Structure 1
Amino acid sequence: MNQVRIIGGQWRRQVLRFPDSEALRPTPDRVRETLFNWLGQDLSGQTCLDLFAGSGALGFEAASRGAEKVVLVEQAPRVLAALKDNAQRLQCGNTVEIVGGDALKFAASCRQPFDVLFADPPYKQGWLARLEPLLPGLLAGDGALYLEAEAPVVALGAWKTVRQGRAGQVYFHLLRQESNA
């Protein structure tokens, strides 16, 4: 089993365990630290969606920092089982909801806008283009989109990059709607 530590909040230093999976790229500690400096350390009252959850590091980190509700979506059965095990071990209760299935099908059927959307889809498969038309239904008007990609992203629909960085081969971005940037 692979592992990553939660770096802040009530579950700080707790370990998340997950199986080997070719497409799984947990967001590194320093990138998560930067992200939560951008978003704020306290996410109290916010709702978050970790759309391509993988290890769940982003979603569990948000829950650890006080998010009211976090939904993690994952399709791979072994990775999904690990998410459920981690949620049970952390005693997440109703704060964390884990959904098994296709990320885009979930996004297309979602009726609840989220305050923060974490998207770290598999690279070079056209996920961003398919996700773009679904964003208005997924994000609240003043919502933030965190995106990891294999190349820099200037915008995704009405969401424009307001902060960005690079860690190795990964480009990470914080996007907001242009009127709220």
Structure 2
Amino acid sequence: MRIIGGKHKGTALASLGAGDAAAHLRPTSDRTRESLFNLLAHGDYPPLEGARVLDLFAGTGALGFEALSRGAAHVLFVDEGAKARALIRTNTDTLRAIGPTRLFRRDATRLGENRDAPYDLIFIDPPYGKGLGERAIESALAGGWVAPGAIVVLEESSAANIAPVPGFTQVDERRYGDTTIRIFKAAT
């Protein structure tokens, strides 16, 4: 797994090794990440440059680090898993990104109140098929984590039926094998 574009292009990211299956991490493939970021860069979306990014169910942090490489100003990684947080710390060190990143150990479906500025771009890559993505979106909105007009990218199983989330409009959907990326826009 590597950074696909931007100032860290080609940098290898730490990911799971043999015997780490119990961590239940499923990093977004390089191909899917490349397609997603091409869509965000060339579609009708706010620029990544200077964006505040929230990476929920962050896993290895690949989505947030990709955004950082492409000009995001700040990334907050949220994951409950010890293995995921260790990988994010390793990747933060590799990219020398301690200043523009933070890492929270928290349940992404129960974020609580945000005590900082809201986020422009939110990645949600939960365990598939459990309805956690919709719950994370609702939690982020309720806690003041979502900026007006923010873009939310939800990665989920193609078989999952995603319920509409009040306050958001789905603006795109792309399928990559058994994964579907759904893009929502928050009300302004």
Give the TM interval when normalised to the shorter protein.
0.7 to 0.9
**How is 1:128-139 mapped onto 2 (pairs within 5 angstroms)?**
128-136=133-141, 137-139=144-146
User: Any stretches of 5+ residues in structure 2 without a counterpart?
Assistant: none
Q: Percent identity?
A: 36
In 2, the alpha carbon distance for the partners of 1:133 and 1:90 equals 31
Deviations 1:91-126 (A, max 9, x none): 013111122232233x22323310000001112323
For the pair 1:10 / 2:14, whether they are aligned, the reply is: no
For the pair 1:56 / 2:51, whether they are aligned, the reply is: no
Give the secondary-structure state (helix, strand or coil) at the position aligned to 2:57: coil
Deviations 1:119-150 (A, max 9, x none): 01112323134224324222111100000112
Aligned residues: 175
**Which residue does 1:141 correspond to in 2?**
148
Higher helix proportion: 1
In 1, the alpha carbon distance for the partners of 2:82 and 2:129 equals 22
Is the 2:79–2:107 contact (alpha carbons within 8 Å) kept by the matching residues of 1?
yes
In structure 1, give the amino acid aligned to 2:11: Q
In 1, the alpha carbon distance for the partners of 2:134 and 2:106 equals 19
**Which residue does 2:181 correspond to in 1?**
172
Deviates more, 1:85-94 or 1:37-46: 37-46
**Which residue does 1:108 correspond to in 2?**
112
For the pair 1:121 / 2:126, whether they are aligned, the reply is: yes
Tell me: CA distance 1:21–1:71, structure 2 relative to 1, closer, same or farther (3 Å).
Answer: farther
User: Any stretches of 5+ residues in structure 1 without a counterpart?
Assistant: none
For the pair 1:66 / 2:75, whether they are aligned, the reply is: no
In structure 2, give the amino acid aligned to 1:90: L
Is the 1:154–1:160 contact (alpha carbons within 8 Å) kept by the matching residues of 2?
no
Deviates more, 1:32-41 or 1:61-70: 32-41
**Which residue does 2:91 correspond to in 1?**
86
**Which residue does 1:32 correspond to in 2?**
33
